[in-house]
Structure formats: structure tokens, C-alpha cells
């Protein structure tokens, strides 16, 4: 993009962003280094590790491409249509992304499993059950998790196109095809590579989902190999090496995405509600409705299964689940605050042309929680009791892991604001905090709300590093769900899973709506 | 004045700490959860030791040992509770543990020889199925049938590793072939026990790898007698869970006292209905109702700890090869 070639003259300094990026890099690479230093000379990567790397990359590529390819028409349909309950639907569609893995897998299999709803339906017709386990199962699950994220990121791109463009297009008599070529495709060229890179990175670190849906050790991912190296073989060097492979793959994908993403800014508008004259035809309406219903069914049926399984369990919830829910809320809000403090300056620095900051942001996705947890443990252990720091560390790590998503959401908006309002602000000699307060925060409120909601919800649902540090009486809700399952209390666990789903979606909704309050988007 | 109160407070607090010594026990997560044995055992032991018993949880058994190796001699742990027979040799080699003086008659199906590791409970691995399903008699019949099973990954789960050793102990050289024949019966392999058991309860497979004691949970806690363990003719592989004293403990007497306490009724009577395993010393008033009808294997299989390491790596390779075709 043009502003990469020639640095944008920005009213805000890029330095706080660079500082934040450096901090993030230290927080992630420091623990990795600690693990390396502690490792004894090992055998390096073994043959099985290379097989794991190949499988991991292959399934991540498939998952990312399919998620994004499906997300484009769904996002377009959502962008073109206005209907009652649209914003609720958009929020609900995002739910799979923020669920703890174990809850989501059980929900997914309640629909697609051998004894799932679809198989039962097929059984009534005398047909064999669905064969869900295998590479296609892994991809199905990853698309289930990531289609919502891809849809939201791409939908955001659509919503960033000023309404005036469509108005002008309608005046000039441009049909769907011309609008696609002149307005929508250039927008996608900017948004899609980033979405692909983020989803590829998420799927790189998959473990339990890939193994369970993959049907066996064929579906061994790098993350499982790290787990094995660490707990089964106690080979720290190999665990750290594998972690480096994960980071290299993520950064490689990010560099490609940054290079490929192209196109100029979309220009400014007056924030009028978008109206699409070109999509008024019957064919377009039917197409869009079909897409929205199909995506809705795919994403919401497993949610419905979780609700159906969870309701009876709600009555059996022990008091500790309530306490854990409060702890989780605290951790989620804490990590959201930390994330915003780090992400905003970073987003502004990236928008001002410092692309390297984006790479630091992606590190959070690339590093295995097991390795970062172990490394932090090695660093903290000699100076303080790691258990006393369990919650702050969890909040901090969750913030860093949510950073890549936040940046994907914030950066395009920050670019827009700087390119549109930057020169005016400079001519008024408005800089630094004043510019931040008067221009950036109000202009970027929807994106800040969305990013905050996403990270808060992710943090709620993530088991994260707490499992490595947990003390008996401090538990987050995901950890408590695992404990309930470990104690055969599957029904109560389903109830707690439902509670977590409701809290995460609620938290997301409140923050996301907060950002869009009084904004007709 | 404020400072004085503060100073007095600090003084009293340190004085108190000196009076009640603290015993730190590292264990796995499900042991300390409110449904596990931890809370009751903490109460019972604190009543007799005049100390503060602190449980610290670290994932599962394998993560426990990894954690202790990471911490080395600097560890706060006085006792580790929750290693098993598959981890014993590797734990012994680490040199982190020291022998105890516990000397009792264990109610174990095998002779117990280690004096470093004190067994506190045990169980048999088994496949659990619903009543009404006719289970296979052994692995060979299972492999020939079209029954579907759920198992755990040996690289990330204790029962998963147990199954690997089970097939190896029962079939030795032929284990690889048995796995190849079983491949089409395996619905999927999960990371841990919880995922597999949850999927089984949702009807994803006919049988799930768990313990012969699993039906006791359903009978006692849920009044549900529809879950049964399949008895296999080859015999069943055992898991014996053990505890040990750390050599670097700063509370060696207290640690010894805890290990002694572990084999008394106060500890052992808590185990069956919280950890859902057999106690290693049957308490005075016997096993709880619901345990009497459980499957009792004809033969108990257990590889000697010293052979586990070599057998484990070979068996894992066979397993990976057979299931990755």
C-alpha cells in the first residue's frame, strides 16, 4: 500500500507502538530463550516431528483457505442485507470462535458425529452415519471455529467502504458485477491476506481439536509434538525447537500476507448508513438469504447442541463454578485492558508505516502456550512464587495472545483515520494525546469495541497457562469445566460450558455494542 | 502507631508460621478438585499433624514429573503424589526422591518392591460399554468385530499409555499386528480421558478405554447401573498410583508422617468414592457398596518399572506406525 512506501506523516508518534511491540517480543521470546537455556543437548527434531510439521501446515492451509473462501460470500450477504435480528445473529455467529475447545468439540460432534443429529437423521432414512473423523473432520472443525472470525474481519472491510461509494455507483448505474470489480474486489485484496494469515496461524497451534477430529496419530500437530517432547520425553530442547518452527511458519505466512495485501485506502465518507441499490434484485436476495441461513445453521446448530446439553446441568452447578466464573470475568477484563493499552499504540505505529510492529503482534499466536508457560515459570520461579502470580500471568498471556486479532481489527481503521484526518490535524497543529482523544478514539470506537469484545471473550474461554500454574482454590471457568469432566461430572460440565458460552457471548456483545453505540452500521 | 501495629502484625505472622510447619504436596489436578480426595484428606491430616498441608496441582501425572525435574533441588515440594508405575523408573533415575520407612501389607494384586514409592491406590484399565452390548472376550475378538472404540493418546494421557503397555504386556512381539488389526475399530484418539469419556457418553462409540472401577461411579453417584466393564481374557493391565518423598524436602519428618498417614484408614477410606480407584490397603470397614459387583480380571498384567522405558518407546513406535497407515 502507498503509505508503506512513503511513511505517513502522522500526528502521533510511532514510538509508543514500537515500545509496546518490543515489550511483547520480549514477553514471548524471553520465555522461549529460557526454555532453550535450560535444555540439555538433545537429539534435535526426529522423523515423526517432520511428519507433524507437514500435517500441521497442510491442515492449516486448507482450513484457512476454506474458511476465508466461505466467509467472503457470507460477509457480502451480511453486508448487503438489513433484517431484524441481524446484529444479534452476527454476534451469535462469532460464538464458536470463543468457546473452550473441549466444549466446542462436544457441540460439534453432537451435530456431525457418528451419533450426531445428522447421522441420526441419515439413520432414519436407512443411511450410514457421517464419517467425520479424518483430515476433513479437522478442517470442518477449524472452519467451524474460524469462519466466524473470517466473516467478521471481511464484513468489517465491507463496512469500512463509505456509503457514498455505493451511492455513486448506483447513480452511475453500476450493477453488482461492476461494483464487485471496482469497489469490493480491491477491498478484499486488502483484507483477505491478513485474514488468511491469522487463521493459518491459529490452526498451526491446534492440538486437541486436530487430534480428536483427525481420528488418530495421523493428525499429529506440532503442538502435540511439543507436548510430547515436554511431558513424555522431557526433552526441552526439542520442545523449544518445535516452538521456533511454529514461530517461523507464522511469521513467514504473515510476511507473505503483508506483501500480497495491496490497494489504496478506501477514501472518506460521511458515515451514512450503507444502502445497496445493486442488490435489490430477486436473485441477489435469494442468494444472500440462502448463504446467511446456511452459515447460520452450520455455526448455530452445534451451539444449540451445547445449550440443549447444558440446560439440565445448570441446576447441578456447584458454588465453585460461580466463583470460577467471577475469576474468569476478572481475568478477561484485565487482559482486555492490557491488550488495549498495547494494541492501540501498536496499531497507530503500523498505520504510520512501521510494518515490523505487526510481526511482533503476530508472535502471540505463534508461540505454544505450553512453551511460554514453561519459560515464564523458569523465569519467575527463582524470584517469586509462580502460583501467587497465576492470575496476572494468565491475564497478561491472554492479552498477548489476543493481540493479533485486535491488530487485524484496529490497523485498517487506524490507517483510514490517519490518511483522512492526519493532514488536517497536523495543519491544526493537533498532535499526540489531543489527536488521540479528539479524533482517534471517537473515530475508531467501533473497532476498539469489537477488538475489546473479542479479546475479552477469547480470554474467558481460554484454558491458557492457568493449567500450568493453578493453585487449588483459584480456578478459571474453563479449568473448572475440565475438573468437572475429570470427576465424571459430565452433566455439570455441560452446564458450566453453557454458562461460559453465555458469559463470553454476553461480554462480547456488551463491549462490541458499546463501541457501536449511536452508530448505525 | 500504625507502624507499630504493622510491625507487630508481621512479627506475629512470622511467629505463627514458625509454629505451624507447612507440608507442600505436588499432585495432579483432579486429586485436589473439590470432587477429588484432596479436601477431605487435607482436613484429616491437618487434624493429626498440627501442620498446614498445602496441595499444589500441576496438570496430570506426566506433567507432575516434568515440573519437578524443571524445579530440581529448588522445588518447594516435600512430597509428590500421583506418579504411576509407568513413570516410576524415570522418576527413580532423576535422583529427586528418597526412600520412606512405610512398611505395610498392601492389598495389591502384585508384590510391591519399591521402598521409595508408596502406592496409595490402583486400578485396572478396561473398556467400558453400555449394558446390553455384548463385549468381545479379548483384543483379537475386538479387532475382528465391527465394534467401535474410543482411546486416548499415549503421548498425552495416562490411560492411553496404559493401553499401550496392556497390549505390549499381553502380546509382546505381536503387539504391532494387534494394533494394525484394531485400527479400523478406533473411532478416534483423544488428548485426555475426559474427552474420550464425554464422547462415549454422547454415544460416539460402543466402548471407551477407562478403568474397571468406572461403573462404580455411575452406580454410587448417579444410581445408574447401565455401564459395565468388559473382562478381557488376556488379563488387564494395572495402574498403581504412588507417592514419594523428595530428597530436597525441608520437612523430611513431616513428609514421612504424611506417607505413613497415606496407608491408614483415614486416607484409604476416602479414595474409592473420590478418586474412583481401589485403595492400596483396604480400610477396616471394607470397600463401599457398589464396588462388589465390579469385574475382577482373571489375570493382572504389569511390566516391571525397569522394563517400562524400553517397552514404552518400542510400543509407541508400533502404535504410531500401525495407526498412521
Mark which residues 384-423 of A lie under 8 Å from B by CB.
387
Domain annotation covers residue A131: yes
Chain B contact for A154, CB < 8 A? Answer: no
The verdict on B275 touching A (C-beta cutoff 8 Å) is no
Residue B14 has pLDDT above 50, yes or no: no
Computed on alpha carbons and rounded to an integer, the radius of gyration of chain B in Å comes to 21
Domain containing A421 — which CATH number?
1.10.3720.10
Count the neighbouring beta carbons within 10 Å of the beta carbon of residue B174: 13
Query: Residue B7: its pLDDT value, please?
Result: 46
Spatial neighbors of A500 by CB under 8 A, at least 6 apart, are A99, A100, A103, A325, A328, A460, A461, A477, A478, A481
Question: What pLDDT does residue B79 have?
Answer: 96
Measure A300 CA to nearest chain B CA, in Å. 19
What is the predicted pLDDT for the residue at A284? Answer: 82
Tell me if A93 is assigned to some domain. yes
Locate A358 and state its grid cell: 505487526
Question: What CATH number matches the domain at B2-122+239-279, 3.50.30.20, 3.40.1260.10, 3.40.190.10, 3.40.50.300?
Answer: 3.40.190.10
Interface test with A, best of B204, B205, B210, B222 (most A CBs within 10 A): B204
Q: How many CB atoms lie within 10 A of CB B173?
A: 8
Instruction: Tell me if B2-122+239-279 shares its fold with B123-238+292-323.
Output: yes
As a whole number of angstroms, the distance between CA A136 and CA A213 comes to 8
**What separation in angstroms does the CA of A87 have from each of A110, A150, A228?**
27, 16, 43
- Closest partner residue to B320 among A106, A217, A467, by Cβ? A217
At residue B37, the pLDDT reads 93
What is the pairing mode between strands B97-98 and B300-301? unpaired
Parent domain of A220: 2-308+315-516
As a whole number of angstroms, the distance between CA A279 and CA A81 comes to 9
The Cα-based distances of A99 to A205, A306, A412, A463, B28 in angstroms read 16, 11, 26, 10, 25
Burial A107-141 (b: 16+ CB within 10 A, else e): bbbbbbbbbbbebeeeeeeeeebbebbbbebbbbb
- State the Cα–Cα distance between residues A354 and B185, nearest whole angstrom: 54
Q: In chain B, whose CA is at the least distance from the CA of A373?
A: B67
Using alpha carbons only, give the angle A106, B184, B237 rounded to the nearest 5 degrees: 80
Which has the minimum average pLDDT: A62-71, A250-259, A500-509, B254-263? A250-259
Number of domains in chain A: 1
Question: Distance, in angstroms, between A374 CA and closest chain B CA?
Answer: 9
**Using 50, 70 and 90 to split pLDDT, how confident is the model at A153?**
confident
What does the alpha-carbon distance between residue A425 and residue B15 come to, in Å, rounded to a whole number?
A: 63
Residues near A479 by Cβ (< 8 Å), separated by ≥ 6? A324, A463, A466, A467, A470, B29
- Range in A36-45, A140-149, B31-40 the model is least confident about: A36-45
Handedness of CA A95, A99, A101, A106 (dihedral sign): negative
Contact A218 B35 (CB under 8 A): no
pLDDT (average), residues A376-384: 79
- Say what percent of chain B tops pLDDT 70: 94
Residue B246 dihedral angles phi and psi, to the nearest 5°: -85, 140
For B132, left (φ over 0), alpha (ψ -120 to 50), or beta?
left
Mutate to test the interface with A, among B71, B191, B275 (most CBs of A within 10 A): B191
pLDDT value at position A367? 80
> How many residues are there in chain B?
325
Inform me whether the pLDDT recorded for A263 exceeds 70: no
Is residue A3 predicted with pLDDT exceeding 60? no
A500 C-beta neighbours (distance < 10 Å), count: 28
**CB within 8 A of A434, min separation 6: which ones?**
none
Kindly report the nearest CA distance between residue A83 and chain B, in angstroms.
Answer: 36
- In chain A, % helix, strand, coil (3-state, to 5) comes to 75, 0, 20
Q: State the sign of the Cα–Cα–Cα–Cα dihedral A69, A73, A79, A82.
A: negative
Closest by Cα among A23, A106, A442, A270 to B150 = A106
Residue B210: left if φ>0, alpha if ψ -120 to 50, beta else—which one?
beta
Average pLDDT value over all residues in chain A:
83
CA distance B174 to A20: 58
User: Residue A397: pLDDT above 60?
Assistant: yes
CA of A318: how far to CAs of A79, A239, A250, B275, in Å? Answer: 43, 37, 41, 18
- Say what the ipTM of the complex is: 0.84
Confidence of residue B15 (pLDDT cuts 50, 70, 90): very low
> Which pTM value belongs to this model?
0.86
Predicted pLDDT at A265: 53
Instruction: Out of A38, A224, A467, name the one closest to residue B59 (CB).
Output: A467
Cβ-nearest to B38 among A387, A467, A472:
A472
Range with the poorest average pLDDT among A262-276, A358-372, A451-465, B239-253: A262-276
Cβ-based contacts of A48 with chain B (< 8 Å): 320
Concatenated DSSP letters of B18-31: HHS-EEEEEE-HHH
- A271: cell is 458515515
Kindly tell me if the per-residue pLDDT of A271 is higher than 80: no
Higher pLDDT, B29 or B147: B147
Q: Is the pLDDT of residue A274 over 80?
A: no
Q: Which positions 207-226 of B are in contact with A (Cβ < 8 Å)? A: 214, 217-218, 221
**Residue A511 above 70 pLDDT?**
yes
A521 domain-assigned:
no
Chain A contact for B59 (CB, 8 A cutoff): yes
Is a pLDDT exceeding 80 seen at residue A515? Answer: no
Q: Which residues does chain B have within 8 Å of residue A371's beta carbon, measured at their own beta carbons?
A: none
How many CB atoms sit inside 10 A of residue A178's CB? 14
Tell me the residues of chain B between 164 and 203 that have a Cβ less than 8 Å away from chain A: 183, 186-195, 197-199, 201-203
The interface residues of chain B toward chain A in range 112-171, judged by CB-CB distance below 8 A, are: 148, 153, 155-156
Beta strands in B48-204 (DSSP E): 52-57, 79-84, 97-98, 118-130, 149-152, 186-190
The minimum CA-CA distance between B108 and chain A, rounded to whole Å, is 24
Chain A: closest CA distance from residue B190 (Å): 5
* A450 vs A345: CA distance, rounded Å: 17
- Percentage of residues of chain A with pLDDT beyond 70: 91
B194: chain A residues, CB-CB within 8 Å: 102, 482, 485-486
Residue A355 domain-assigned (yes or no): yes
Do A394 and A464 meet the contact criterion of CB atoms below 8 Å apart?
yes
By C-alpha distance, the chain B residue nearest A34 is B70
> Could you tell me the residue ranges of all domains in chain B?
2-122+239-279, 123-238+292-323
3-state secondary structure of B123: strand
Contact A472 B153 (CB under 8 A): no
Mean pLDDT (whole number) for A457-467: 75
Which of the following CATH numbers is that of domain B123-238+292-323: 3.40.50.1820, 3.40.50.11810, 3.40.190.10, 1.10.1750.10?
A: 3.40.190.10
| Cell numbers representing residue A262 in the block | 495491496
Among B155, B214, B218, beta carbon nearest to A232 = B155
Cell, residue A111: 451435530
Q: Are B191 and A218 a contacting pair at CB < 8 A? A: no
- Give phi and psi for A235, each to the nearest 5: -110, 85
Q: Flag the least confident range among A203-212, B173-182, B218-227.
A: A203-212
Residue of A nearest to B151 (CA): A216
| Structural domain includes residue A338 | yes
Kindly indicate the confidence band of residue B163, based on its pLDDT and cuts at 50, 70 and 90.
Answer: very high
**A68-79: average pLDDT:** 92
Binning pLDDT at 50, 70 and 90, where does residue A8 land? low
- In angstroms, the first-to-last Cα distance of chain B is 77
Contact A422, A12 (CB under 8 A): no
Residue A356 lies in a domain: yes
Distance from chain centroid for Cα A2: 27
User: Which residue among B32, B188, B203 places its CB closest to the CB of A115?
Assistant: B203
| Contact: B204, A382; criterion CB under 8 Å | no
Quote the percentage of chain A above a pLDDT of 90.
15
Closest chain B residue to the Cα of A134, Cα to Cα: B188
Q: Do the Cβ atoms of A471 and B320 come within 8 Å?
A: no
Q: What are phi and psi of A491, to 5 degrees?
A: -70, -45
Output the CA torsion sign for A215, A218, A219, A222.
positive
The per-residue pLDDT for range A475-492, each reduced to its tens digit, is 888 888 888 888 888 888
Give the H or E element holding residue B69: helix B61-71
In a domain, A199, yes or no: yes
* Residues B253-280 pLDDT 10s: 999 999 999 999 999 999 999 999 999 9
Amino acid at each position: 500500500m502507498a503509505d508503506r512506501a512513503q511513511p505517513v506523516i502522522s500526528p502521533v508518534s510511532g514510538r509508543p507502538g514500537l515500545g509496546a511491540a518490543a515489550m511483547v517480543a520480549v514477553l514471548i521470546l524471553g520465555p522461549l530463550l529460557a526454555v532453550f537455556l535450560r535444555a540439555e543437548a538433545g537429539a534435535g527434531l526426529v522423523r515423526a516431528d517432520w511428519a507433524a510439521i507437514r500435517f500441521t501446515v497442510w491442515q492449516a492451509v486448507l482450513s484457512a483457505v476454506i474458511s476465508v473462501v466461505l466467509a467472503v460470500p457470507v460477509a457480502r450477504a451480511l453486508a448487503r442485507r438489513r433484517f431484524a435480528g441481524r446484529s444479534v445473529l452476527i454476534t451469535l455467529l462469532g460464538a464458536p470462535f470463543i468457546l473452550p475447545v473441549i466444549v466446542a468439540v462436544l457441540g460439534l460432534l453432537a451435530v456431525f458425529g457418528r451419533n450426531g443429529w445428522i447421522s441420526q437423521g441419515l439413520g432414519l432414512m436407512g443411511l450410514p452415519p457421517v464419517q467425520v473423523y479424518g483430515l476433513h473432520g479437522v478442517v470442518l472443525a477449524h472452519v467451524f471455529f474460524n469462519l466466524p472470525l473470517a466473516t467478521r474481519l471481511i464484513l468489517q472491510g465491507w463496512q469500512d467502504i463509505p456509503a457514498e461509494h455505493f451511492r455513486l455507483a448506483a447513480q452511475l448505474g453500476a450493477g453488482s458485477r461492476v461494483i464487485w470489480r471496482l469497489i469490493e474486489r480491491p477491498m478484499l485484496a486488502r483484507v483477505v491476506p491478513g485474514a488468511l494469515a491469522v487463521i493459518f496461524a491459529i490452526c498451526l497451534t491446534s492440538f486437541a481439536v486436530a487430534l480428536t477430529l483427525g481420528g488418530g496419530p495421523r493428525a499429529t500437530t506440532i503442538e502435540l509434538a511439543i507436548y510430547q517432547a515436554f511431558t513424555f520425553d522431557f526433552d526441552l530442547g526439542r520442545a523449544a525447537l518445535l516452538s521456533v518452527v511454529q514461530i517461523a511458519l507464522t511469521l513467514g505466512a504473515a510476511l507473505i500476507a503483508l506483501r500480497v495485501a495491496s490497494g489504496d485506502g478506501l477514501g472518506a465518507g460521511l458515515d451514512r448508513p450503507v444502502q445497496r441499490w445493486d442488490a435489490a434484485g430477486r436473485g441477489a436476495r435469494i442468494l444472500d438469504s440462502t448463504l446467511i441461513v446456511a452459515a447460520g445453521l452450520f455455526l448455530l446448530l452445534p451451539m444449540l447442541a451445547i445449550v440443549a446439553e447444558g440446560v439440565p446441568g445448570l441446576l447441578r452447578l456447584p458454588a465453585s463454578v460461580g466463583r470460577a466464573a467471577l475469576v474468569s470475568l476478572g481475568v478477561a477484563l484485565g487482559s482486555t485492558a492490557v491488550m488495549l493499552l498495547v494494541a492501540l499504540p501498536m496499531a497507530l505505529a503500523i498505520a504510520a508505516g512501521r510494518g515490523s510492529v505487526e510481526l511482533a503482534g503476530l508472535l502471540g499466536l505463534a508461540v505454544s502456550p505450553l512453551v511460554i508457560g514453561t519459560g515464564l515459570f523458569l523465569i519467575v520461579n527463582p524470584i517469586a512464587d509462580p502460583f501467587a502470580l497465576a492470575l496476572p500471568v494468565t491475564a497478561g498471556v491472554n492479552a498477548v495472545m489476543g493481540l493479533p486479532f485486535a491488530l487485524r481489527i484496529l490497523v485498517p481503521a487506524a490507517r483510514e483515520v490517519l490518511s483522512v484526518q492526519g493532514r488536517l490535524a497536523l495543519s491544526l497543529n493537533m498532535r499526540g494525546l489531543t489527536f488521540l482523544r479528539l479524533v482517534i478514539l471517537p473515530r475508531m470506537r467501533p473497532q476498539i469495541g469489537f477488538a475489546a469484545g473479542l479479546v475479552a471473550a477469547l480470554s474467558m474461554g481460554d484454558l491458557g497457562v492457568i493449567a500450568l500454574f493453578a493453585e487449588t482454590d483459584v480456578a478459571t471457568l474453563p479449568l473448572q469445566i475440565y475438573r468437572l469432566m475429570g470427576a465424571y461430572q459430565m452433566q455439570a460440565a455441560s452446564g458450566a460450558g453453557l454458562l461460559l458460552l453465555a458469559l463470553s457471548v454476553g461480554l462480547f456483545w456488551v463491549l462490541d455494542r458499546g463501541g457501536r453505540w449511536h452508530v448505525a452500521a | 502507631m500504625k507502624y507499630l501495629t504493622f510491625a507487630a502484625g508481621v512479627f506475629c505472622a512470622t511467629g505463627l508460621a514458625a509454629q505451624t510447619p507447612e507440608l507442600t504436596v505436588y499432585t495432579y489436578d483432579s486429586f485436589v478438585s473439590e470432587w477429588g480426595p484432596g479436601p477431605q484428606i487435607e482436613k484429616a491430616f491437618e487434624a493429626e499433624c498440627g501442620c498446614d498441608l498445602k496441595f499444589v496441582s500441576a496438570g496430570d501425572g506426566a506433567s507432575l514429573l516434568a515440573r519437578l525435574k524443571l524445579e530440581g533441588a529448588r522445588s518447594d515440594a516435600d512430597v509428590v503424589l500421583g506418579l504411576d508405575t509407568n513413570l516410576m523408573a524415570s522418576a527413580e533415575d532423576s535422583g529427586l526422591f528418597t526412600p520412606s520407612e512405610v512398611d505395610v501389607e498392601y492389598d495389591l494384586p502384585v508384590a510391591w518392591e519399591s521402598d521409595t514409592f508408596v502406592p496409595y491406590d490402583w486400578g485396572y484399565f478396561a473398556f467400558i460399554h453400555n449394558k446390553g452390548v455384548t463385549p468381545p472376550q479379548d483384543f483379537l475378538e475386538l479387532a475382528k468385530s465391527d465394534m467401535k472404540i474410543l482411546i486416548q493418546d499415549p503421548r498425552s494421557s495416562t490411560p492411553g499409555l496404559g493401553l499401550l503397555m496392556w497390549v505390549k504386556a499381553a502380546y509382546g512381539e505381536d503387539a504391532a499386528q494387534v494394533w494394525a488389526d484394531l485400527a479400523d475399530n478406533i473411532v478416534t484418539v483423544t488428548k485426555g480421558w475426559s474427552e474420550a469419556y464425554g464422547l462415549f457418553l454422547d454415544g460416539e462409540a460402543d466402548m471407551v478405554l477407562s478403568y474397571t472401577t468406572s461403573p462404580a461411579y455411575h452406580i454410587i453417584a448417579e444410581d445408574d447401573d447401565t455401564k459395565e466393564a468388559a473382562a478381557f481374557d488376556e488379563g488387564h493391565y494395572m495402574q498403581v498410583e504412588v507417592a514419594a518423598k523428595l530428597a530436597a524436602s525441608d520437612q523430611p519428618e513431616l513428609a514421612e508422617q504424611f506417607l505413613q498417614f497415606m496407608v491408614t484408614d483415614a486416607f484409604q477410606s476416602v479414595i474409592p468414592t473420590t478418586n474412583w480407584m481401589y485403595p492400596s490397603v483396604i480400610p477396616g470397614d471394607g470397600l463401599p457398596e457398589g464396588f462388589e459387583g465390579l469385574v475382577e480380571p482373571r489375570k493382572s498384567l504389569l511390566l516391571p518399572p525397569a522394563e517400562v522405558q524400553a517397552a514404552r518407546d518400542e510400543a509407541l513406535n508400533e502404535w504410531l506406525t500401525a495407526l498412521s497407515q
